[in-house]
């Protein structure tokens, strides 16, 4: 069985469409609000974290791009719905532009300091799947956060 970059990109784009649907549902009025009673992150911060994780795992770890990511700053980020649309469009364009580098990658830029995949060592494929895992799980987190924010409207 082989998972291709086409497969990876299709599912990333589909999930980012879901992210944007939630962001649009919330609008600028709620995008920077914390969900009630949970202490959870704002939707803007969650999307910023999704983009940071994708940039780190795909751009830095696989493609070898320099990273200026400060993970803790992602959870304090705020801004507008338009800014999130632009940031996601930029990341998806970069994903398309970097496909030749991703396709040629045979090892990671560095050994991740995070958990080891269940099967053992990190590979390029494992890093890409992990990037998608982060995107998908935080899309779910974002959807629950939106439901909490919209519950009393």
81-121 per-position pLDDT tens digit? 999 999 999 999 999 999 999 999 999 998 888 777 766 78
Backbone phi, psi, residue 111, to 5°: -80, 120
The CATH code of the domain at 5-150 is 1.20.120.450
DSSP string, 49-96: HHHHHHIIIIIIIIT-------HHHHTT----HHHHHHHHHHHHHHHH
Please give the pLDDT value at position 1: 66
pLDDT tens, residue by residue, 43-74: 999 999 999 999 999 999 999 999 999 999 99
pTM, rounded to two decimals: 0.94
């Amino acid at each position: 069985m082989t998972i291709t970059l086409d497969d990876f990109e299709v599912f990333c784009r589909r999930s980012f469409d879901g992210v944007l649907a939630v962001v649009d549902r919330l609008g600028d009025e709620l995008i920077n609000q914390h969900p009630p009673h949970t202490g959870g992150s704002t939707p803007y911060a969650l999307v910023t974290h999704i983009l940071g994780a994708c940039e780190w795992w795909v751009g830095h770890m696989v493609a070898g791009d320099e990273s200026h990511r400060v993970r803790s700053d992602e959870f304090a980020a705020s801004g507008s719905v338009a800014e999130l649309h632009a940031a996601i469009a930029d990341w998806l364009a970069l994903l398309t532009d970097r496909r030749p580098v991703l396709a040629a990658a045979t090892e990671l830029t560095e050994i991740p300091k995070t958990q080891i995949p269940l099967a053992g060592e990190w590979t390029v494929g494992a890093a890409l799947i992990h990037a998608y895992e982060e995107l998908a799980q935080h899309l779910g987190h974002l959807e629950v956060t939106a439901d909490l924010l919209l519950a009393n409207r």
